[in-house]
Amino acid sequence: MGLDISAFSHLHLNRPRGESTLITTKTEPDGVLAHIAYPDHEPQFEGLTEGWYVETSASEAHRFRAGSYSGYSRWRSQLSMLVNGVPSEVVWGDDAKYKGSPFYEQINFADNEGTIGPVVAKKLYEDYCNFLPIAEDVTTWAKRLQYDNACIDEHEYFLLKYKDWMRAFELASQNGLVSFH
């Protein structure tokens, strides 16, 4: 088991959420289910209505495996170290200090399910663009993560996922979403 990501641009709300309880994020032939998985993550949903979305002729999609749940958690903590100098657990424990910081909305988001809407996706895409030169520089990356030696393989993996996330938020910022499932 692990975390899969599906990102889409230019979606159309096909069917708003009804009275029934929706408990999972799914990609199915009927469309993509967008929902607020946890009440604390409602701000990341901005720009969407809960329900089923369908692709349009203008839609683009990007899907990837973010890793196992623990693997994604490790990657997310590396991202936090890169930009905040602290692991993700520290960010989670101090909203007042880190809210609004780069990547905050992703670092402080579920690692198993949920949906990020176009408003927050735009902000996160800008964060990814702004920090790309730092993420690409293996020496800076290793220093900020407090590694003694630059682990080339780990950096390559980090950068590969960084670019996957960057593409996902780029698409979602265009009237789309990022689905964690």
pLDDT digits (tens, 9 = 90+) for 131-181: 999 999 988 888 888 876 657 788 999 999 999 999 999 999 999 999 999
Q: Is pLDDT above 80 for 29?
A: no
As a whole number of Å, the CA-based R_g of the chain is: 16
pTM for this prediction: 0.91
How many residues are present in the chain?
A: 181
Q: Is pLDDT above 60 for 26?
A: no
**pLDDT score recorded for residue 31:** 81
How would residue 19 be classed by pLDDT, with cut points 50, 70 and 90?
very low
Could you give the CA distance from residue 15 to residue 17 in angstroms, rounded to a whole number? 7
